[in-house]
Amino acid sequence: MALLKILHYPEPRLKKPSVAVTEFNDELRQLAEDMAETMYEAPGVGLAAPQVGVLKRMIIIDCSPSEEPNDLIVAVNPEIIATEGESLEEEGCLSVPGFWANVKRFSTVTMRYQDVTGKTHERTADGLLGICMQHEIDHLEGILFVDRLSPLKRSLFRKKFMKMLKEREQKNEA
């Protein structure tokens, strides 16, 4: 097991689409384990492979990390196959530290995915889990939650975030 480095906005790899997983091997299982360790350590409720620099279609989610047993979902080649309703909830992202915003999503989604052995599953969820599925699958298309804000809010975010990065750099230099 190993902790992986989480890439932060505006790292270009976060903007790239990921490729489908075709080999369900030890390497994939190792990546899933390392991603889970990295997510719990952060701590966060979801992590997509491109966030650790691997442009493969795999996400992990655990929206109830404090419950026993936990509800870790490792989803390979995930896709949303049904949607219902609308929701507007606050989101954050391990790749955009220190920033939260309300994002419009479907309120209920059904996700079809494969596990690390290649077996196909379906899961329907609303609430935090449903939002998490949509947020993590977006990462596989190179879409961050800030990309779903209005143009005005997005430009405010950019200014605020770049200012924060600059201040952090100056602090490190001092």
Can you tell me the distance from the alpha carbon of 140 to that of 138, in angstroms, rounded to the nearest whole number?
5
Choices 29-37, 91-99, 115-123, 160-168 (CB under 5 A): range interacting with Ni ion: 91-99
User: Is residue 93 a contact point for Ni ion (CB under 5 A)?
Assistant: yes
- Tokens 């430009």 map to which residue? 155
In the complex, least distance from residue 167 CB atom to Ni ion, rounded to whole angstroms:
23
User: Is residue 61 a contact point for Ni ion (CB under 5 A)?
Assistant: no
The residue of the chain with the least Cβ separation from Ni ion equals 93
In the complex, least distance from residue 173 CB atom to Ni ion, rounded to whole angstroms:
29
User: Is residue 101 a contact point for Ni ion (CB under 5 A)?
Assistant: no
Can you tell me the distance from the alpha carbon of 144 to that of 149, in angstroms, rounded to the nearest whole number?
10
Q: For the residues of 20-64, what is the DSSP string, one character each?
A: PP---SHHHHHHHHHHHHHHHHTT-SEEEGGGGT--BSEEEE-S-
Q: For this structure, is 136 an active site residue?
A: yes
Residues forming the site for Ni ion (CB under 5 A): 93
Catalytic residues: 136
